[in-house]
Amino acid sequence: MAKRISAALTLTNIQPYLLFAMSGFDNTDFFQSSYSVDDQNQGGYGYSDPNDPYSKQYEYSQPMGYSAPPGMMQPQQPYMGQIYQPTPAFTPVSPQSMYGSSFEDEPPLLEELGINFDHIWQKTLTVLHPLKAADGSIMNETDLAGPMVFCLAFGATLLLTGKIQFGYVYGISAIGCLGMYCLLNLMSMTGVSFGCVASVLGYCLLPMITLSSFGVLFSLQGMLGMILTATIIGWCSFSASKIFISALAMDGQQLLVAYPCALLYGVFALISVF
Partner 1 sequence: MDFQQHGYRATKPRARASPPSGGPLLFDDTSSGPPPMNRGQDPGVGNLFADPMASAAMMYGSSLANQGKDIVNKEINRFMSVNKLKYFFAVDTRYVMKKLLLLMFPYTHQDWEVRYHRDTPLTPRHDVNAPDLYIPTMAFITYILLAGMALGIQKRFSPEVLGLCASTALVWIIIEVLVMLLSLYLLTVHTDLSTFDLVAYSGYKYVGMILTVLCGLLFGSDGYFAALAWSSCALMFFIVRSLKMKILSSFSADSMGVGTSAKPHFRLYITFALAAFQPIIIYWLTAHLVR
**Residue numbers of the site for partner 1 (CB under 8 A)?**
9, 12-13, 16, 27-28, 31-32, 35-36, 38-40, 43, 45, 75-76, 79-80, 83-86, 93, 97-99, 101, 105-107, 111-112, 114, 116, 119, 136-138, 140-143, 183, 186-187, 190, 193-196, 198, 251-256, 259-260, 263, 266-267, 270, 274
**190 phi and psi, to 5 degrees?**
-85, 150
Q: Determine the angle formed by the axes of helices 254-273 and 223-248, rounding to 10 degrees.
A: 140
Query: Of 72, 87, 86, which Cα lies nearest the Cα of 18?
Result: 72
Closer CB to partner 1, residue 100 or residue 217?
100
Closer CB to partner 1, residue 17 or residue 217? Answer: 17
Least distance in Å: CB of 144 to partner 1?
8
DSSP state of 157: H
Cβ–Cβ contacts within 10 Å for residue 264, how many? Answer: 24
Residue 122 Cβ vs partner 1, minimum distance, rounded to whole Å: 11
Closest approach of partner 1 to the CB of residue 169, in Å: 14
CA 206 to chain centre: 22
Q: How far is the CB of 195 from partner 1 (least distance, A)?
A: 3
- Give dist(CA 55, CA 52) in Å, integer: 5
Cβ distance 169 to 115 under 8 Å?
no
Which positions ≥6 away from 187 have C-beta within 8 Å? 250, 253, 256, 257
User: Among residues 207 and 260, whose Cβ is nearest to partner 1?
Assistant: 260
Q: CB of residue 267 vs partner 1: minimum separation in angstroms?
A: 7
DSSP 1: -
